[in-house]
Amino acid sequence: MKPIVEIAKTAGIEEQDLELYGKFKAKLSDELWEKVKDRPDGKLILVTAMNPNPAGAGKTLTTIGLSQSLNALGKKTIAALREPSLGPCMGIKGGATGSGQAQILPADEINLHFTGDIHAITSAHNLLAAMIDNHIFQGNPRRLNPKKIVWKRAMDMNDRALRNIVVGLGDGNGMSREDGFMITTASEIMAILCLSENLSDLRERLNNIIIGYDFDDVPVRANEIHAVEAMCVLLKEAIKPNLVQTIEGTPVLIHGGPFANIAHGCSSVIGTKTALKLADYVVTEAGFGADLGAEKFFDIKCRKAGLTPAAAVVVITVRALKYNGGVKVADLAVENLEALERGFANVRRHIENLQKFGVPAVVAINHFTTDTQEEVDAVIALCQQLGAEAALSYVWAEGSKGGIELAEKVARAAEKPSTFRFLYEEDLSIQQKMETVVKEIYRGSGVVFSPSALKTIQKIEEMGLSHLPVCMAKTPYSFTDRADILGAPTDFTISVSEVRVSAGAGFIVALTGSLVTMPGLPRKPAAESLYVDGDGHIVGLS
Amino acid sequence: MKPIVEIAKTAGIEEQDLELYGKFKAKLSDELWEKVKDRPDGKLILVTAMNPNPAGAGKTLTTIGLSQSLNALGKKTIAALREPSLGPCMGIKGGATGSGQAQILPADEINLHFTGDIHAITSAHNLLAAMIDNHIFQGNPRRLNPKKIVWKRAMDMNDRALRNIVVGLGDGNGMSREDGFMITTASEIMAILCLSENLSDLRERLNNIIIGYDFDDVPVRANEIHAVEAMCVLLKEAIKPNLVQTIEGTPVLIHGGPFANIAHGCSSVIGTKTALKLADYVVTEAGFGADLGAEKFFDIKCRKAGLTPAAAVVVITVRALKYNGGVKVADLAVENLEALERGFANVRRHIENLQKFGVPAVVAINHFTTDTQEEVDAVIALCQQLGAEAALSYVWAEGSKGGIELAEKVARAAEKPSTFRFLYEEDLSIQQKMETVVKEIYRGSGVVFSPSALKTIQKIEEMGLSHLPVCMAKTPYSFTDRADILGAPTDFTISVSEVRVSAGAGFIVALTGSLVTMPGLPRKPAAESLYVDGDGHIVGLS
């Protein structure tokens, strides 16, 4: 690792605009934005993927590797990524900072407490929760209906026992009521932090959070509980983007990490916009596959922040295609051109979808040693039939060198004049917006709304919030709302069981199927394999 | 503020032994201890106080001021203090970093997230809790009795609704059981971090935490849940002391802040020991008044860490003496020599108690403008009758200049050869140890143990843990277990309602009266008055 001060210099950031957190992490000062805001923007590249499956794609890896390869081509590039959540690191997945020759450093610190952003969000979230219960305890002047409080508590931990709880038991401990914890990344505050342009915008959005309803069923907002200014105090540093580096010294702004189902799943607007002022190319990623992640990136983040994506990269693997084509995990190493072609139906649809947004798609085939030349040739040919460039990526093994062809194709695609457009206009009705996403992106025949979803939609319309974009919370594994239907299914409907409004973040969430906002730990948690070795190094995390 | 690198230099710490957190905060590297450990120790000065009351004493203020004054006298001095908890900052008290010309900087950051130590403890605490419930959920091989889990959850927030809760409700969310949250500073992990000598010691102590009992009523320890190594990973940075500065540039190591009732209430052993190697004088403080704070500092912290205090400072105010002598808060500005003398009975007992430990006591009269000369003279005379030096302290208004006389008297007291001794030996029975503290320090006639307390004591003896020192959890406002009995009462007994063992931290807690380990917010929380102003500065915190 190089000192972060040197990495900053390569990005044109002076030391006085850094707030150092150790030698290898820094936050960007508030003043930096004022200095760079009038510069022209670089090109924004979105990295997305086919529907995820157990064979793995390598989206974060490719994002990091591509940013290194673009730099190697002499194109000044910064990666803009999401912060990993600590909870899942203790569960199944280990870290979320790439691996091999395409990783971000210092990986362990980024995966754990990092610069404290997520801890600050947890604190702000729970301060609001404590002030809500205290408001009721102290006489409830706002006449909050304790049965209709929608603001839960948050913790950055995988802890299923906290999903559904009863609080306020015992004498002197306030009103007993049902409550629950979500993981911090599912907090609306995380979504708000990621969509805010600055501290005033953050304050405004926090003010608008609907925390519950009063006895007349009128929404009660966070500002009525007088918690928002203190929440801003707690979030004052968390709103500043964090600068780190890749293993090759490419600057990375890593900031914010909202859930990709209940929220939009993209890194912060502040981080992305700052990166666009500092670099010629900014490579960023969205959550899950392109049906969820890219759609929300375009229709929520780009719309709200006024961003214009220049190109999108769809990360696939030969293995994942074969899995999608019906091959079992144990057999993925065996060449199977038929399954490959069947599985490609999934990728085809994602490419077509990206074209609907007017964004040129480049396919990155994240290489595994078991891939055969015939398989790779077949994939490339299939992509070309769709007018999409494709390139093999060896960034895991070779770093920037392994992504030169990909970088060249991405850069070429990004040079074309933008034809970017949103999927829907905001003035459509809430139902129409959801139907548009389902028909155009998922290719379902329509949406079935539950009675309670329809009731909430009506309520949102009465609140005057129907102009907000929609945020679909759907299984990432399928275009449908059933995780086991792979490929490119047709003739299905999507069931919206529940609708929620995130009035602070500024979107309307449609829940399809059941949604868990607090993960659990598996039979053998990853935490059991973590340790600090005799030299003080963390083992088992990344 | 000077750059922390410069402050470090005055303390003989090289830049390579610092881990910077911004320009004004740093953690000390693990390597520093290895470099300095063979040096002779400086003199350790404990700052304690009379029983706290609404008139206020100024213990932290005096600790900071005294360290500045000693430096002004040319004596190389470092202050070793506790980290403020974020929760109470949102409740009543505002910050905990001193004020006026005797404060620690950057105050706002120290009072909020600081370097993330308390957040890390929260994470480690809740990881263990999540792994306990997951252990049960995944088949419960260790046969944990869900009704006898004593490890609760933790949050650094004042939130009474979380005191008593039921977790695990709903299908698929594990075993429903009663649980609760404590504020993070009350976590045994905080006590452990503060008593640990290094990471191996921390690991050993975490292993020994009793998290509950199995169906045969055998204690189950944290190591049996396989959580401890991951907890060490989470606490790896938190165990390093934090360096900041006073408003006059005196170096301050601020590290750890355990509850002063359920735990021992002192800053970390690592911080204190490091400071003793770097300075000629180290000024530290203990929780509450001397009956609780000083006793635990001597009998728990000094015993466990092998520290020898050279002198103790008892902080008092004329106002607090008068309150203790029966004057109402509204009348404290009026001269009242009789009430003053009555109230002095409280201070007399604390001075005598310190003398029982063989520690010379110096009284610091924290000056208020309403104090009359007659009152001050009377207090000094009363102290001299006890053989205790006394000095007025003006450190709030004047910084180091206002504490020169105090510093001179403290330095002189600390020069005498130590006659320090513990109050009791560890081989006494648990009951005898508690009785010794009650009779010798509180001056009660004896202890009344509840049947359940006696049962637990027997259990602790069977576990082979009766050699541990005792940690009394008592109201800080009185020598008795009733908050409203001021002065120097006699003829009372102390009721021990419950006994707990903190097998990791290494002490046995005696609860007298009810104990709340999760504070609530008041009618108008301090959080309502906090905000970030137009220049990005926090207002209302310190």
Distance between CA atoms of A106 and A537, rounded to whole angstroms? 12
Identity of residue A443:
R
pLDDT at A56: 80
Q: Which of B89, B164, B524 to mutate to test the interface with A (most CBs of A within 10 A)?
A: B164
Average pLDDT over residues B442-450: 97
Which candidate in B85, B223, B229 is best for mutational testing of the A interface (most A CBs within 10 A)?
B229
Shortest Cα–Cα distance, B351 to chain A (Å): 38
Cross-chain CB nearest to A170 (options B139, B164, B532):
B164
Two structure tokens written together for B187: 């976590």
Output the pLDDT for position A55. Answer: 82
CB-CB under 8 Å, B130 with A159: yes
User: CB–CB of B457/B428 below 8 Å?
Assistant: no
Question: Residue B108: exposed, middle, or buried by beta-carbon count in 10 A (0-12, 13-18, 19+)?
Answer: buried
Closest of A304, A301, A263 to residue A510, by C-alpha: A263
Q: Please state the length of chain B.
A: 542
Minimum-distance CB partner of B131 among A162, A170, A525:
A525
Question: What does the pLDDT read at residue B514?
Answer: 79
Residues of chain A with Cβ-Cβ distance to B233 below 8 Å are 112, 530-532, 538, 541
pLDDT mean over B358-374: 97
Chain A residues with CB-CB distance to B536 below 8 A: 30, 199, 236
Predicted model pTM = 0.97
Secondary structure (DSSP) of A430-446: HHHHHHHIIIIII--SE
Per-residue confidence in pLDDT tens, chain A, 542 aa: 999 999 999 999 999 999 999 889 999 999 999 999 999 999 999 999 999 998 888 999 999 999 999 999 999 999 999 999 999 999 986 668 999 999 999 999 999 999 999 999 999 999 999 999 999 999 999 999 999 999 999 999 999 999 999 999 999 999 999 999 999 999 999 999 999 999 999 999 999 999 999 999 999 999 999 999 999 999 999 999 999 999 999 999 999 999 998 999 999 999 999 999 999 999 999 999 999 999 999 999 999 999 999 999 999 999 999 999 999 999 999 999 999 999 999 999 999 999 999 999 999 999 999 999 999 999 999 999 999 999 999 999 999 999 999 999 999 999 999 999 999 999 999 999 999 999 999 999 999 999 999 999 999 999 999 999 999 999 999 999 999 999 999 999 999 999 999 999 999 999 998 788 999 999 999 999 999 999 889 998 87
B90 and A230 in contact by Cβ < 8 A? yes
Rounded to the nearest angstrom, the minimum Cα separation between B2 and chain A is 15
Size of interface A-B (CB pairs under 8 A): 207
| Cross-chain residue pair A130–B234, CB shorter than 8 Å | no
Chain B partners within 8 Å of A520 (Cβ): 134, 137, 174
Residue A94: predicted pLDDT: 60
Cβ pair B116:A113 closer than 8 A: yes
Phi–psi pair at A223, nearest 5 degrees = -65, -25
Judge: B20–A21 Cβ closer than 8 Å, yes or no. Answer: yes
- Among chain A residues, CA nearest to B126: A157
Give dist(CA A446, CA A434) in Å, integer.
9
Enclosing H/E stretch for B413: helix B404-415
Give the distance from residue A203's alpha carbon to the nearest chain B alpha carbon, in angstroms.
Answer: 10
Q: What are phi and psi of B465, to 5 degrees?
A: -115, 15
Asked if pLDDT for residue B68 goes beyond 90, the answer is yes
CA distances from A12 to A16, A278, A281, B362 (A): 12, 7, 14, 57
B536–A236: do the CB atoms touch at under 8 Å? yes
Query: Within a 13 Å sphere around the CA of A476, how many CA atoms are in the beta-carbon half?
Result: 24
Alpha-carbon distance B78 to B63, whole Å? 10
Mutate which of A138, A207, A232, A234 to test chain B, going by most B C-beta atoms within 10 A? Answer: A234
How far is A237 from A14, CA to CA, in rounded Å?
19
pLDDT tens for residues B387-399? Answer: 999 999 999 999 9
| pLDDT, averaged across chain B | 96
Residues of chain B in contact with residue A199, where contact means CB-CB under 8 angstroms, are: 532, 536
DSSP string, B313-329: EEEE-HHHHHHHTT--G
Distance from the Cα of B168 to chain A's closest Cα (Å) equals 4
Residue of A nearest to B153 (CA): A162
Cβ pair A159:B129 closer than 8 A: yes
CB contact under 8 Å between A527 and B137, yes or no, is no
Strand order in the sheet with A470-473: A470-473, A507-511, A498-502
Of A156, A169, A527, the CB nearest to B164: A169
Contacts with B30 from chain A: Cβ below 8 Å: 536
Closest CA to B350 of B46, B52, B50: B50
Contact B116 A112 (CB under 8 A): no
Compute the nearest-CA separation of A154 from chain B (Å): 10
Tell me which chain A residues have a C-beta less than 8 angstroms from the C-beta of B528: 226-227, 229-230
Any residues with CB less than 8 A from the CB of B190 and at least 6 apart, and which? B118, B121, B184, B256, B257, B258, B259, B263
Å between A89 CA and nearest CA of chain B: 10
* ipTM score of complex: 0.96
